[in-house]
Amino acid sequence: MKDILIKISDDFPEIFFVKGQRNGKYPYSHSMLLKDTLIDTGISSGFLRKLKRKIKINNVILSHWHEDHICGNRLLSQANFMAHKEDIHIIEDISKMYEYYHVSNDPEQIELFDAILQGLRLKNTTIDSILSDKDIIEINDLYELQVIHTPGHTKGHSCFYEKNSKIIFLADIDLSSFGPWYGCKDSNIMEFEDSIKKLKELQIEIAVSAHKGIIYGSSNIQNQLEEYLKKIYQRDEKILKFLSENSPKTLEDLANKNIIYSTYSEYKIYEILAEKIMIKSHLTKLLKENKISQKNNGYILS
């Protein structure tokens, strides 16, 4: 168990970082455990079975609806499941994922997405408790876990802040080198910016990222949140460099140019689909900021 269950702080011995398979790399993620309460189930089926043999998990909190965070739900069917109200409809009906990921009738897209969902053995999950911003989840009279609603990645994406220890589970505001991801139907780049700024107002001593791991130190966490936020602005600048004042560029012209992904992986079909959605979000933002204009079904510098 020592290889996946790691104590975060000597002062709070019942709060653990739970390591995901492939070091939390997609299609898996890291989790956090507080006594009998697990946040997210995407560590992999094998790792989750190991955890169940050691710990009786009575409660599961889901940070959002994405497959790499809920794929172990079926192994904890007796637990009480909690999630933010904005994400429940997809967790309870995973067929909606095709719509929310903008998977079209393209056979290649469908084949890839079918393979991902079937490989993870994803199942519908009934949510027992509905969460909202600032709710407090009390855990065995030891911990007070505050819901921090942080939309942008998904509409209901939430972080969870333990008020006594000042430990936070950041979920997919993950402080990874890739930066923020906002490539589905209920993503919103401007809400994502606001969510990062909201987290910067908290006194955080230790942060657990769903894909990066444990980050220690309040100033270090503040710096990493700021760098993470800057990724959005850096992508703005990349897009602006592709545009000119006279020759309009369409969304298709900007796609597959590594504006978001520096390299594509085995999920390239899906990554390019998500990249187009994310670039479209930047274009909407840049239009609002009057940095670009529309011309002949394309975009030019203002």
| Residues 123-176: tens digit of each pLDDT | 999 999 999 999 999 998 889 999 999 999 999 999 999 999 999 999 999 999
Instruction: Supply the pLDDT for residue 106.
Output: 82
Instruction: Supply the pLDDT for residue 2.
Output: 60
Burial of residue 111 (number of CB atoms within 10 Å: 0-12, 13-18, 19+): exposed
**Mean of per-residue pLDDT scores for the chain:** 95
Instruction: Supply the pLDDT for residue 51.
Output: 96
User: How far, in Å, CA of 43 to CA of 269, rounded?
Assistant: 24
Query: How much of the chain, in percent, has pLDDT values that exceed 70?
Result: 99
The answer to whether 146 and 38 have CB atoms below 8 angstroms apart is no
User: How far, in Å, CA of 160 to CA of 83, rounded?
Assistant: 11
DSSP one-letter code for 19: P
User: How far, in Å, CA of 247 to CA of 250, rounded?
Assistant: 10
Mean pLDDT of 6-18: 96
pLDDT band at 273 (very low <50, low <70, confident <90, very high): confident
Residue-range domain boundaries for the chain: 5-230, 243-301
Which CATH number applies to 5-230: 1.10.1060.10, 3.60.15.10, 3.40.50.970, 3.20.20.70?
3.60.15.10
Query: How much of the chain, in percent, has pLDDT values that exceed 90?
Result: 87
Burial of residue 14 (number of CB atoms within 10 Å: 0-12, 13-18, 19+): middle
pLDDT in tens, 89-124: 999 999 999 999 999 888 888 988 899 889 999 999
pLDDT at 35 over 70: yes
Instruction: Supply the pLDDT for residue 293.
Output: 97
pLDDT band at 266 (very low <50, low <70, confident <90, very high): confident
pLDDT at 1 over 60: no
